[in-house]
Structure 1
């Protein structure tokens, strides 16, 4: 009986050029997504995101130190082109009504912006799910100060069924909480009107340090800020200094008047 030649040995540790599906990525490399990422408008941030931009069809968490630090201006370079191409941008339960003239100057077409007010946390999750069922939306921005992990799973599943961008604004304190979102960033105010962004969860290696990004400022906001910075104080600090000797003398006269 003829001997059978042994099969050649193949090392599983040898380098390979096999292409992996989107759901699988090597730990030392940035992952990818099945849909084409959308540029953020900030080149330094694009370099740190898998695929080089905001990934569609996933839940993206932006954890804010506080509201109004420039989160809408951070997203404006993305939202502007979407609305100009006829895509709808849905703002769901923002803590404050956005300043429409400023959004317009940032290039956002207000005809394609929908504002939805929802109070209860459970109703917000339901409203987001309904919004994600629309095929015409370009981006959904939802503010979720109180949300359970199981609700985030529902939103992640709902986002996977669409082609748009889904941003969830949550408090910075939620950083240590578990989340099914594949992309999570913290946003904090920085000097000179900039914003500090840290990508602390992504498909890839850990991010080294926060990125400080300049933000566009609408002209109708520049003038009030400039006027406020150049304004002359309406009071003189020196006039409010306490003269201890005069104070003591006044107190002594008051005591004398009370004893007479």
Structure 2
């Protein structure tokens, strides 16, 4: 029986002295940056470090805008808004001031950017990330090229900002540098969350997240009629932007 080689012994000794230096794919990763709890225990239990990672590109792939993705982030955004601003870039609906106030998102902490071109929205998000002027950036985009995703991911790593990118659920088939990707689908009284990418073991489960105020009926209205559902205050169609500049910034 042969004894272990000196190289293997040295490697084993080094690894034992630095237990956090090596990440195994079968284990949940530990982020070097801080995280922010989502406010939902069953979801936090499946996220590395137990929350949304700071300085990282987080992709939320939604089946349809307005299914509860903002309610999913409400608790986290309210914590950020206590001391920092939040940028909403290219949202599909007009943010409702009264709803934001009820969600503890004061108007003076919110910046709404509506652009004429997707390239302007991407540029605006990258600049805000780089200068660190906001505690969180939420960006909505339908089509994002791989090069743009890489730029956004690199920009996110250089700041202490929480960065959420909302994309259609069909984008799950695309490759992405984002270390954390989740799909969101509507469900009675909440949403179903599937983690399709994380720094940890592959997740094969779908996690239900209860969202107060969401319709409990199994018969969903695909357009979420504002006269029927409480959450629809944030689902009003966005008006046309008449400003002449490439980026229009509106304080909600």
Under TM normalisation by the shorter chain, which class is it? Answer: 0.7 to 0.9
**Greater C-alpha Rg:** 1
Q: Is 1:122 paired with 2:119?
A: yes
Task: Provide the rounded CA distance (Å) in 2 between the counterparts of 1:159 and 1:9.
Answer: 38
Q: Which structure shows the higher strand fraction?
A: 2
Task: Provide the rounded CA distance (Å) in 2 between the counterparts of 1:20 and 1:96.
Answer: 43
What is the correspondence of 1:21-170 to structure 2 with a 5 Å cutoff? 21=21, 25-84=23-82, 86-170=83-167
Q: Deviations over 1:168-200 (max 9, x none)?
A: 0000110010000000000010013x0111111
Partner-residue secondary structure (3-state), 2:139: strand
Q: Which has the higher contact order (CA 8 A, sep 6+)?
A: 2
Partner-residue secondary structure (3-state), 1:117: strand
Q: Structure 2 vs 1, CA of residues 17 and 190 (structure 1 numbering), >3 Å: closer, same or farther?
A: farther
Q: Is 1:213 paired with 2:209?
A: yes
Task: Provide the rounded CA distance (Å) in 2 between the counterparts of 1:145 and 1:39.
Answer: 27
TM superposition score normalised by structure 2: 0.79
Contact 1:88 1:138 in 2 (8 A): yes
Task: Provide the rounded CA distance (Å) in 1 between the counterparts of 2:7 and 2:118.
Answer: 60
Unaligned runs of 5+ in 1: 1-5, 228-260
Q: Deviations over 1:128-150 (max 9, x none)?
A: 11111233311000001111011
Partner-residue secondary structure (3-state), 2:47: coil
Please provide the CA RMSD for this pair: 2.5
Q: Deviations over 1:185-224 (max 9, x none)?
A: 00010013x0111111000001121111011339xxxx95
TM superposition score normalised by structure 1: 0.76
Task: State the match for 1:10 in structure 2.
Answer: 9
Task: Provide the rounded CA distance (Å) in 2 between the counterparts of 1:50 and 1:106.
Answer: 26
Q: Structure 2 vs 1, CA of residues 12 and 172 (structure 1 numbering), >3 Å: closer, same or farther?
A: same
Task: Provide the rounded CA distance (Å) in 2 between the counterparts of 1:9 and 1:132.
Answer: 43
